[in-house]
Amino acid sequence: MLPSRLSRVIELFARLPGVGEKTAQRFALFLVGGGSETAAELGQGLVELGTTVRPCERCRNVAEVDETGRALCTVCRDSRRDPSVLCIVARIQDLLAIEKSSAVRGRYFVLGRLLSPLDGIGPEELPLRELMQRIREDGVEEVILATPPSVDGEATALLLAQELGGKNLRLTRIASGVPHGGDLEFADQVTLGRAIDGRRPM
């Protein structure tokens, strides 16, 4: 009933997180009816995104690719950061939320996923080798485990504590205050700042 190219765009929008069939349809119909300028900009923006933005090669945050083809994020490029402190987070959204609270003056490592035995995600699915390399190369002394206070987040923090134990590192876990099961992304800056400041040895 709809032109096939339009159906295709609706199908693509519907793949995005949090976008259902109806919203996807609304987006697509907006773009073909009066939103054509936005459609062109969106198309160009997405094409450029694919070639200019990549995961940071050091911490897996988002990074812009530079003239030499390297992708280093703004945190990793910032020489005022304390390289001896490494804050481990599950997702880029968590990194951005913590950055807003200004509670971490060190650098980050983004796991990308959490341990989840129920979903079949075991330790081998986590980027532990890259993490160890980061710790070694940066001369990290303190590791802040800032995975969310959910079942999977706690299980991941425990695994990391085991993996990193006995390596002469100060391991700390963010304090509660962030609601249990809650996303760090949705905690307010003050709460998140307190959770980091009140971190405890693990």
Nearer Cβ to Zn ion (13/109) = 109
Least distance CB 55 / Zn ion (angstroms):
8
> In sequence order, which residues have a C-beta less than 8 Å from that of residue 188 and are 6 or more positions away?
none
CB of 140 within 8 A of CB of 86? yes
Which residue in 109, 201, 117 sits closest to 147, CA to CA? 109
Distance separating alpha carbons of residues 76 and 83, to the nearest angstrom: 9
Which residue in 157, 194, 162 sits closest to 179, CA to CA? 194
Nearer Cβ to Zn ion (73/145) = 73
Nearer Cβ to Zn ion (92/178) = 92
CB of 2 within 8 A of CB of 10? yes
Least distance CB 112 / Zn ion (angstroms):
13
Chain positions contacting Zn ion, by CB under 5 A: 56, 58-59, 61, 73, 76
Amino acid at 20: G
Nearer Cβ to Zn ion (9/89) = 89
Nearer Cβ to Zn ion (57/154) = 57
Least distance CB 77 / Zn ion (angstroms):
8
Least distance CB 181 / Zn ion (angstroms):
28
Least distance CB 59 / Zn ion (angstroms):
3
Angle made by CA atoms 98, 165, 149, in degrees to the nearest 5: 35
Q: Which one-letter DSSP state was computed for residue 103?
A: -
